[in-house]
Amino acid sequence: MAQKKKILVVDDEPYIVRVVQANLMVEGYEVVAAYDGLEALQRLQEEKPDLVLLDVMMPEMDGWAVLERIRSNPETENLPVIMLTALAQDADIERGTLLGCDVYITKPFEPRDLVNAVRRMLEGMEEERLLRGVG
């Protein structure tokens, strides 16, 4: 049986974390949470998630800085990152893209759309690994 994929949800709003967590767990994913940017970096090292859902506006360190750290670290540079944020201006979306996020979802969001985005990202990674003969 395949190992459960692990997702790190990073958001300073506990309600958002609970909604996302519940929807992903129903789909069979393992979910770990962080409530600010510094905690996110710590969880990345400890948990080695397969994907990160990342808010932007958070205490300690914002999501932009976290994303930059993820992309600048050879161990995590290819880790899929989905931004999940209330920042919906074109400039914000462009910044997320330039910094290397894979998908940009704005709040309020439809939980089903989020789950589908996660599934597509993880399935795409699996296909790529199989094509390269890895794993």
Domain boundaries, the chain: 6-132
d(CA 55, CA 51): 13
Model confidence pLDDT, tens digit, residues 69-122: 999 999 999 999 999 999 999 999 999 999 999 999 999 999 999 999 999 999
Q: What's the pTM?
A: 0.92
> What is the per-residue pLDDT for 124?
83
Q: Which residues partner with 83 through β-bridges? A: 54, 104
CATH classification (class only), 6-132: alpha beta
What mean pLDDT comes out for the span 13-40?
A: 97
* Residues in the chain, total: 135
Report the mean per-residue pLDDT for the chain: 92
Confidence of residue 129 (pLDDT cuts 50, 70, 90): low
